[in-house]
């Protein structure tokens, strides 16, 4: 009876994890969200008894502490998989390079703070709160949903200056994954960062004409990197790919601390 905790299940890839994992009645699936009532209403039509929705705001230490305590009650003190999926990517900082964003220094500082608070610091607290449960679990896997936008080589080779604050936060989280692996390898815990590829979760809906042009510039860089790339995946495909990569990865195979794509390698698209 594997147990899963997934952050950010209100929509996007997180919601797809929730639906897919709960379709197996032997799984216990705990989804963390900012707004429990909204998510409960969204999933009411298909909610199964093995789903538990708890409050878990990545920017609130107390909220994550309570989520870990409530999870422990549900699972009798253990957890098999922790999936750190929730993240923010501000639409303000999607395309412009850091020097342009820096023309509004207060807004850039706020944007970086939000990205680091949610995508990095929140995940460090999350792991710390859930680690006692993971250590008592039988699978011991912590999966962080990361991004190829944090791949140093791709940024340099294809001039990907876009999404600076977000990419900085994901690169930092990759280091957090390595640090936790270094600490808990001796306990047999696998930490792994997996990028879902490019996934249609509505981020590029309703762009202004100017941002639409900037998106084309970014897309031409992606096309240079991956000429075979046909377009974004669905959240369902992305969740499925990440789960497969996580299933196949193990400490014994040397995957601890790895930063992998949805293909299980370094091909991001
Ligand atoms: N989509 C892509 O192409 C892509 C590519 C590479 C990596 N990723 C990564 O994949 C993961 C999921 O992305 P997505 O596209 O599904 O994103 P999304 O549709 O924007 O959903 C983000 C989720 O994170 C939650 N969240 C944001 N801030 C939170 C906070 N402070 N506390 C708790 N939950 C919070 C959101 O909850 P609310 O509903 O409350 O806002 C939502 O459930 C992220 O880690 C993202 O960086 C996505």
Q: So where are the chain's domains? A: 3-260
Instruction: Provide DSSP, the chain.
Output: --EEEEE--SSHHHHHHHHHHHTSTT-EEEEEES-HHHHHHHHTTT--TTEEEEE--TT-HHHHHHHHHHHHHHHTT--SEEEE------STTSSS-HHHHTTSHHHHHHHHHHHHIIIIIHHHHHHHHHHHHHHHSSS-EEEEE--GGG-HHHHHHHT--SSHHHHHHHHHHHHHHHHHHHHHGGGT-EEEEE---SB-SSTTTT--HHHHHHHHHHHHHHHHH-TT--SPBPHHHHHHHHHHHHHH--TTTT-TT-EE-TTSSS---
Whole-number average pLDDT of the chain: 98
> Which residues, in sequence order, are CB contacts of 162 under 8 Å at separation 6+?
94, 95, 96, 97, 149, 214, 218
Nearest to 144 by CA among 13, 26, 35: 13
Candidate list 166, 179, 186, 214, residue with the active-site label: 166
The pLDDT of residue 1 is above 90: no
* Ligand 1 pocket test, candidate residues 5, 6, 7, 8, most atoms within 8 A of CB: 8
Question: Which numeric CATH code is attached to 3-260?
Answer: 3.40.50.720
Core vs surface per residue 140-161: b (16+ CB within 10 A) or e: bbbbbbbbbbbbeebbeebebb
Mean pLDDT of 171-192: 98
Verify whether residue 4 is a known catalytic residue. no
Sequence-separated (6 or more) residues with CB below 8 Å from residue 239: 13, 16, 17, 20, 196
Cβ partners under 8 Å of residue 26, min gap 6: 1, 2, 50
pLDDT for 16-26, tens place per residue?
A: 999 999 999 99
pLDDT-derived band at 74 (thresholds 50, 70, 90) equals very high
How confident is the model over 232-246, as a mean pLDDT? 98
pLDDT in tens, 140-149: 999 999 999 9
CA of 12 from ligand 1 middle (Å) equals: 7
- Predicted confidence band at 150 (pLDDT cuts at 50, 70, 90)? very high
Q: What local confidence, expressed as pLDDT, does residue 203 receive? A: 95
Q: What is the pLDDT of residues 126-138, one digit of tens each?
A: 999 999 999 999 9
Give me the pLDDT at residue 125, please: 99
Q: Is the pLDDT of residue 123 over 90?
A: yes
Residue 16 CA: nearest ligand 1 atom is 16
Judged against a pLDDT cut of 90, whether residue 225 lies above it is answered with yes
Side-chain-side CA neighbours of 182 within 13 Å: the count stands at: 6
Q: How far is the CA of 147 from the centre of ligand 1 (A)?
A: 12
Cα separation, 127 vs 113, in Å, equals: 20
Predicted confidence band of residue 171 (pLDDT cuts 50, 70, 90) = very high
Q: Which residues pair with 28 in a beta bridge?
A: 3
- d(CA 183, ligand 1 centre) in Å: 27
Mean pLDDT of 187-213: 97
Nearest residue CA, atom 30 of ligand 1? 58
Atom of ligand 1 nearest to the CA of 199: 3
The pLDDT assigned to 266 comes to 97
What is the CA 67 to chain-centroid distance, rounded?
A: 18
58 band by pLDDT with thresholds 50, 70 and 90: very high
The percentage of residues in the chain with a pLDDT greater than 90, rounded to a whole number, is 100
Q: Measured in angstroms, how far is the CA atom of residue 114 from the centroid of ligand 1? A: 13
Q: Kindly give the pairing relationship between strand 51-55 and strand 81-84.
A: unpaired
Asked whether the predicted pLDDT for residue 262 surpasses 90, the reply is: yes
Q: Work out which ligand 1 atom sits closest to the CA atom of 58.
A: 32
């Amino acid at each position: 009876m594997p147990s899963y905790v997934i952050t950010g299940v209100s929509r996007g890839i997180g919601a797809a994890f929730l639906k897919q994992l709960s379709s197996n009645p032997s799984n216990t699936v705990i989804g963390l969200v900012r707004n429990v009532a909204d998510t409960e209403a969204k999933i009411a039509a298909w909610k199964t008894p093995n789903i538990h929705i708890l409050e878990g705001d990545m920017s609130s230490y107390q909220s994550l502490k309570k989520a870990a305590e409530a999870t422990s009650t549900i699972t009798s003190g253990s957890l098999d998989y922790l999936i750190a999926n929730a993240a923010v990517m501000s639409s303000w900082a999607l395309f412009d390079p850091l020097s342009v964003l820096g023309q509004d220094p207060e807004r850039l500082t706020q944007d970086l703070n939000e990205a680091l608070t949610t995508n990095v610091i929140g995940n460090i607290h999350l792991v710390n709160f859930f680690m006692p449960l993971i250590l008592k679990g039988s699978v011991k896997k912590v999966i962080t949903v990361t991004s190829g936008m944090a791949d140093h080589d791709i940024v340099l080779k294809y001039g990907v200056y876009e999404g600076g604050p977000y990419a900085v936060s994901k690169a930092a989280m990759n280091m957090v994954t390595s640090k936790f692996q270094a600490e808990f390898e001796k306990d047999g815990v696998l930490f792994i960062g997996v990028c879902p590829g490019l996934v249609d979760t509505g981020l590029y809906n309703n762009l202004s004409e100017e941002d639409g042009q900037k998106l084309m510039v970014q897309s031409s860089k992606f096309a240079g990197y991956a000429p075979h790339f046909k377009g974004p995946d669905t959240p369902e495909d992305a969740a499925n790919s990440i789960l497969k990569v996580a299933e196949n990865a193990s400490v014994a195979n040397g995957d601890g601390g790895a930063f992998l794509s949805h293909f299980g390698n370094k091909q991001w698209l």
